[in-house]
């Protein structure tokens, strides 16, 4: 049965009608219940319409002139983290949507939104319908800190917080409490820096972006004036990049707040550091240790908000008051080893930081997609070798042309208020527009 026939019969769909890498994908496809590629046109199923899914579809279509690709997406709208993960003040990163749109509109590519693989259609059914299935549905779970109090009100995962201000339907009811003075972000990657920047950015910087209106309204009333970005290792190990750090350094009405002791020995260590890491660290050193120019000092003196890194710290407990988060207890670490291989070792010392908002940005966890696909719950991955997995009726999918209806409504709504788009925030709204 072809993928298209499967969709028509099983889901009652409303439809509108490198060579080495390809070789590895083609190996053993007859095991999936389809004939080998050599005897017929290959049919490929891609589960997930984020960047990985669309890049996979794009390369497949370019690699063979007879391949057909169906992209399945759980939500009614495509693009995954490009829509729901990229910071709203980074519109240039979202330009890749133009390329993805060309792929989705290709005659040998079909998009099926509002189809939950594993629930609406099983992996076994897809295996019988396609030569190969590519799982690119991302990591939708939150990595736990594993400390007492992490489930208290006032503690959020970065994934959920980012989803809240980017309009991810599952995060629409988050309503974070921004009435505190100090926020602590645990983790020092680009997502942590994005969250810090959004918390501290002047509203005028955000109001013309595609940030959701509820988030914009909440941030306009926010009392957060200080953000600490905490990491278990040192300045030479942060996971952020220089672009995001430079944006923090230059953020209007905001001054850096560093601890000079955290940078002890760092200047001497730079001679053996690769250039990208060296430039990033030099910017941190300049921000933390150098005497600013008269103009920069005047800017800092006038700033009403502040941010800073805190290194060599690991959370051991979220402190409570009145039934909600009121602070975080941090273990003080020392490093053993050097460079990216350095690891944190507890010293036995701790310090308490008072704060009313804690955001965990320590990474995500993949979730199982169905009983027919093996899943390592400890590592939170699907066991695989070189990428190859070791081995409901009534659903109406959203096609890409349906998505374009949603896109048009969102962009028109945005034009009215001077934004690139104003997103629909619930699946119900999305589907109502898609089927109009």
| Domain edges within the chain | 3-140+366-434, 142-364
**pLDDT at position 138:** 86
Tell me, rounded to whole angstroms, the distance of Cα 68 from its chain centroid. Answer: 28
Q: 393 burial class (0-12, 13-18, 19+ CB within 10 angstroms)?
A: exposed
CA distance 354 to 373: 44
**pLDDT at position 27:** 46
Token pair for 59: 């390369």
CA distance 360 to 339: 24
**pLDDT at position 423:** 96
**pLDDT at position 34:** 53
Name the residue among 141, 137, 48, 211 with its Cα closest to residue 362.
141
Name the residue among 402, 364, 357 with its Cα closest to residue 183.
357
CA distance 91 to 87: 8
CA distance 325 to 291: 36
CB-CB contact of 422 with 213 (8 Å): yes
Q: Which regions of the chain are under pLDDT 50?
A: 1-23, 26-33, 392-393
State the CB neighbour count (10 A cutoff) for residue 141.
14
Can you state the angle between helices 158-166 and 213-220, rounded to 10 degrees?
110
Token pair for 425: 């925030």
Token pair for 97: 């949507």
**Which residues on adjacent β-strands are paired with residue 226?**
182, 306
State the CB neighbour count (10 A cutoff) for residue 99.
12
State the pTM of this model.
0.85
- Supply the DSSP symbol for 198: H
Q: Which helix (H) or strand (E) segment is 18 a member of?
A: none
CA distance 323 to 64: 59
Residue with tokens 């013309």: 208
CB-CB contact of 84 with 48 (8 Å): no
Residue with tokens 């374009």: 404
Say whether 80 sits in a helix, a strand or coil.
Answer: coil
- The sheet carrying 68-72 orders its strands as 109-112, 68-72, 43-47, 132-135
Give the CB-side neighbour count of residue 130, counting CA atoms within 13 A.
Answer: 26
Q: What is the pLDDT of residues 267-312, one digit of tens each?
A: 999 988 999 999 999 999 999 999 999 999 999 999 999 999 999 9
Say if strands 343-354 and 109-112 run parallel, antiparallel, or are unpaired. Answer: unpaired
CB-CB contact of 100 with 78 (8 Å): yes
The CATH code that applies to domain 3-140+366-434 is 3.40.50.720
Name the residue among 436, 353, 414 with its Cα closest to residue 167.
414
Please determine, looking at this structure, whether the domain spanning 142-364 carries the CATH number 3.50.50.60.
yes
CA distance 165 to 424: 12
């Amino acid at each position: 049965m072809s993928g298209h026939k499967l969709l028509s019969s099983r889901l009652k769909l409303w439809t509108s009608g490198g060579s080495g890498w390809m070789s590895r994908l083609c190996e053993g496809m007859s095991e999936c219940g389809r004939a080998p590629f050599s005897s017929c046109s290959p049919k490929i199923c891609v589960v997930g319409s984020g960047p990985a899914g669309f890049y996979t579809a794009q390369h497949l279509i370019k690699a063979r002139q007879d391949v057909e690709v169906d992209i399945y997406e759980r939500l009614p709208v495509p693009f995954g983290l490009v829509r729901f993960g990229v910071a709203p003040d980074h519109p240039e990163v979202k330009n890749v949507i133009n390329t993805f749109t060309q792929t989705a509109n290709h005659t040998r590519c079909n998009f099926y939104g509002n189809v939950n693989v594993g629930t609406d259609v099983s992996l076994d059914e897809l295996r019988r319908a396609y030569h190969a299935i590519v799982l690119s549905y991302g990591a939708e779970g939150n990595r736990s800190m594993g400390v007492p109090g992490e489930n208290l009100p006032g503690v959020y995962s970065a994934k959920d917080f980012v989803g809240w201000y980017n309009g991810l339907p599952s995060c629409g009811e988050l309503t974070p409490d921004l009435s505190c003075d100090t926020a602590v972000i645990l983790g020092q990657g680009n997502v942590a820096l994005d969250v810090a920047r959004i918390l501290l950015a002047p509203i005028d910087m955000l109001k013309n972006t595609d940030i959701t209106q509820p988030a914009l309204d909440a941030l306009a009333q926010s009392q957060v004036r200080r953000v600490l970005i905490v990491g278990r290792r040192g300045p030479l190990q942060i996971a952020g990049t220089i672009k995001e750090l430079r944006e923090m350094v230059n953020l209007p009405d905001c001054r850096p707040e560093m601890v000079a002791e955290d940078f002890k020995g760092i200047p001497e260590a730079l001679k053996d550091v690769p250039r990208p890491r060296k430039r990033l660290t030099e910017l941190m050193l300049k921000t933390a240790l150098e005497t600013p120019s008269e103009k920069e000092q005047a800017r800092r003196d006038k700033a009403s908000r502040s941010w800073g890194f805190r290194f060599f710290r690991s959370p051991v407990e979220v402190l409570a008051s009145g039934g909600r988060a009121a602070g975080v207890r941090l273990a003080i670490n020392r490093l053993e080893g050097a460079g990216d291989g350095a690891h944190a070792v507890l010293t036995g010392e701790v310090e308490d930081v008072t704060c009313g908002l804690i955001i965990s940005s320590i990474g995500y966890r993949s979730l199982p997609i169905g009983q027919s696909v093996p899943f390592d719950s400890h590592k939170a991955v699907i066991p695989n070798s070189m990428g190859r997995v070791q081995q409901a009726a009534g659903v109406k999918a959203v096609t890409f042309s349906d998505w374009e209806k949603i896109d048009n409504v969102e962009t028109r709504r945005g034009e009215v208020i001077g934004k690139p788009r104003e997103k629909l925030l619930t699946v119900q709204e999305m589907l109502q527009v898609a089927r109009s």
